[in-house]
């Protein structure tokens, strides 16, 4: 619902940054983050909205950040692709593909040395596996038995290039196994399955047994970047999209809950969330822009 509001209002020109929506990928974010403690840490990518919200990130500060306002979660300096909320363990989001992986790995090393008992998650897309730094970090994490879970949301595309053209002959779990890393694979659109696989990986990491590569199958519904649907431009077919639409993670959960979710309760939840979103949008609109004089603050060089 948050991202549907972003898509609906994007054209109004107040959100002046690229947005990579996770609509269709909700269960992966929620199933993974629900298996974590508040003190555990996550690192995310350009597609970070769902991760931020699932880890408990503040909605007012999210909308303010996307609108470039001083009240944003990083002071309006980053926008949609840089959401973080340290109090909630949402450590950073970095849109340079795979660049959060060594940072997350270093964070897990620090936690191991300090015996903090914390687990770190590196959320990555399927394209991250194709960067050298993934392999260096995977090797390091295995050798040092680090408390980290590499959660790979495989949505079958890197922008417009399908996985079947990039990695035609091997399941992605083989790449982790080749590094001696424990690997698991599941339906990322199935909330319970995701939660179960993630809970196993977290227990494994917390007991000092080292990393897991968790591959979750999913699909982004809208264009790679932006608010629209783009099945017509040719890199994927409408039939493929429609097939994945039948695997909507929210509808699947809804069906599973059946009469367990009373219609009145659902209606009340939808209304409350709508109010929360509208109030966050109003907060962001009313918030001041950052002071230009502070533009060079926090800049290293």
Binding site for ligand TPP (CB under 6 A): 46-47, 95-97, 125-128, 155, 157-159, 224
Buried-state track 20-48, b at ≥16 Cβ within 10 A, e below 16: bbbbbbbbbbbbbbebbeeebbbbbbbbb
| Distance in angstroms (rounded) separating the CA atoms of residues 176 and 172 | 7
Tell me how far, at minimum, the Cβ of 92 lies from Mg ion, in Å.
Answer: 19
Per-residue DSSP letter, 162: E
Buried-state track 181-206, b at ≥16 Cβ within 10 A, e below 16: bbbbbbbbbbbeebbebbebbbebbe
Q: Which does 96 bind (CB under 5 to 8 A by kind): ligand TPP, Mg ion, none?
A: ligand TPP
Q: Is 55 within 8 Å of 36 (Cβ atoms)?
A: yes
99 or 199: CB nearest Mg ion: 99
Q: Is 206 within 8 Å of 147 (Cβ atoms)?
A: yes
DSSP-H helix ranges across the chain: 2-9, 26-34, 49-54, 59-66, 100-114, 132-143, 163-166, 172-178, 191-206, 238-245, 249-257, 263-286
Tell me how far, at minimum, the Cβ of 156 lies from ligand TPP, in Å.
Answer: 8
Interaction pattern, residues 99-128, with Mg ion; x per rule: CB under 5 A: --------------------------xx--
9 or 224: CB nearest ligand TPP: 224
80 lies in the site for Mg ion, by CB under 5 A:
no
Q: Which does 46 bind (CB under 5 to 8 A by kind): ligand TPP, Mg ion, none?
A: ligand TPP
Q: Which residue is nearest to ligand TPP (CB)?
A: 125
Tell me how far, at minimum, the Cβ of 88 lies from ligand TPP, in Å.
Answer: 21
Tell me how far, at minimum, the Cβ of 25 lies from ligand TPP, in Å.
Answer: 8
Tell me how far, at minimum, the Cβ of 126 lies from ligand TPP, in Å.
Answer: 4
Q: Which does 128 bind (CB under 5 to 8 A by kind): Mg ion, ligand TPP, none?
A: ligand TPP
Name the strand (E) or helix (H) holding 234. Answer: none
Q: Is 287 within 8 Å of 69 (Cβ atoms)?
A: yes
Interaction pattern, residues 126-165, with Mg ion; x per rule: CB under 5 A: x----------------------------x-x--------
Q: Which does 95 bind (CB under 5 to 8 A by kind): ligand TPP, Mg ion, none?
A: ligand TPP
Instruction: Give the N- to C-terminal CA distance of the chain in Å, as an integer.
Output: 39
Residues that bind Mg ion (CB under 5 A): 125-126, 155, 157
């Amino acid at each position: 619902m948050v991202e549907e509001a972003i898509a609906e209002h994007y054209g109004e020109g107040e959100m002046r940054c690229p947005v990579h929506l996770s609509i269709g990928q909700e269960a992966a974010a929620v199933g993974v983050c629900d298996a974590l403690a508040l003190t555990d840490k996550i690192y995310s990518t350009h597609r970070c909205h769902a991760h931020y919200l699932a880890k408990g990130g503040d909605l007012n500060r999210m909308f303010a950040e996307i609108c470039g306002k001083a009240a944003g979660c990083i002071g309006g300096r980053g926008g949609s692709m840089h959401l973080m909320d340290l109090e909630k363990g949402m450590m950073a989001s970095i849109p340079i593909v795979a660049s959060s992986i060594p940072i997350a790995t270093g964070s897990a090393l620090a936690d191991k040395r300090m015996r903090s008992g914390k687990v770190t998650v590196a959320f990555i897309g399927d394209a991250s596996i194709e960067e050298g730094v993934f392999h260096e970090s995977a090797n390091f994490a295995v050798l040092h038995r680090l408390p980290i879970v590499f959660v790979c949301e495989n949505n079958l595309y890197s922008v417009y290039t399908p996985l079947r053209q990039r990695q035609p002959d091997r399941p992605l779990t083989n790449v982790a196994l080749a590094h001696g890393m424990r690997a698991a694979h599941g339906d990322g659109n199935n909330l319970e399955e995701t939660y179960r696989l993630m809970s196993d990986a977290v227990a494994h990491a917390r007991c000092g047994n080292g990393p897991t590569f968790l591959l979750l199958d999913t699909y982004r519904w809208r264009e790679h970047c932006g608010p629209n649907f783009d099945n017509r431009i040719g890199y994927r077919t409408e039939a493929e999209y429609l097939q994945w639409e039948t695997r909507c993670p929210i509808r699947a959960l809804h069906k599973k809950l059946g009469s367990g979710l009373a219609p009145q309760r659902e209606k009340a939840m939808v209304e409350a969330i709508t109010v929360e979103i509208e109030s966050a949008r109003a907060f962001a609109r009313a918030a001041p822009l950052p002071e230009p004089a502070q533009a060079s603050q926090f800049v290293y060089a």
